[in-house]
Amino acid sequence: MPDTSSNTALPALPPLTDQAERLIALGVPELAGMPADEIRAYARSATAGDGSGTGDGSGTGPGDTLLAVHPDRVPASALTPLLRRGDKPGFVVVDMPDVDDFAPAGVELPDSALYVVTGLDRGDRMANWSPEEALPALAGEGRTPLVLGEGIHWVLQQPAALERNHCFMTIGSRLRKANGTLDARTPAIWISNGTGRDGRERRDAPKVGWCWWGNRHTWLGFASGTGRGECNHR
């Protein structure tokens, strides 16, 4: 098994009410077909219900809680261009036109338009592991891998979650083929070097792409959480 190392410390996530305002400013309510006030109300109720939204980013409590819109309401292809690194917008690689067909696999999302993900971790300690190796290890730790949409939401709220040599896969999303087997690709979010079909103008831009299920990459960890919470606003 590849060597493990401790995770790089990340800043705390903003309070849930601030996360709601960020999504509203980006136009996510329009993309999701919901009123902005619905997101505000959910963020307030979630904060009041469990105290999330402030803190130092350690453990599974305040500061580690992410507000997410269900991928059924806003797909990855619509969220990705909202990512920014400097003045560079995010993009999906050209050989992933089926990005929105990657769906939760082995994880259960709340039956809710809005929900929270707790205990976020980038999985730096698993850099140079393959998805095939990482998935059972995460399960053994009682952790749940993020789906692609959750990973994008994380970078939207906490851009520091994406840095050179410390990016991540979102192996909670897989593509199931017509014959029922899983596609060998798994989604990931990293930073473009501006080479190949990315184009030189996209150097340093946030990039949604894919990696093979059995391959290892030294710069990619495995994003995960400790759980997901429902709401009643769907």
Contact (Cβ atoms closer than 8 angstroms) between residue 40 and residue 19: no
Predicted pLDDT at 59: 35
What is the DSSP code string of 181-233? Answer: PBPSEEEEEEE--S-GGG-GGGTT-EEEEEEETT---TTEEE-EESEEE--S-
Give per-residue pLDDT as tens, 29-50: 999 999 999 999 999 999 986 5
Asked whether residue 6 carries a pLDDT value surpassing 90, the answer given is no
pLDDT classification of 5: cutoffs 50, 70, 90: very low
Asked whether residue 196 carries a pLDDT value surpassing 70, the answer given is yes
pLDDT classification of 172: cutoffs 50, 70, 90: very high
The tokens describing 144, both together, are: 């749940």
Predicted pLDDT at 212: 97
Asked whether residue 3 carries a pLDDT value surpassing 70, the answer given is no
The pTM is what? Answer: 0.91
- Average confidence (pLDDT) over 176-199: 96
Output phi, psi for 160, to 5 deg.
-65, -15
Instruction: Give the chain's radius of gyration (CA, Å).
Output: 17
pLDDT classification of 60: cutoffs 50, 70, 90: very low
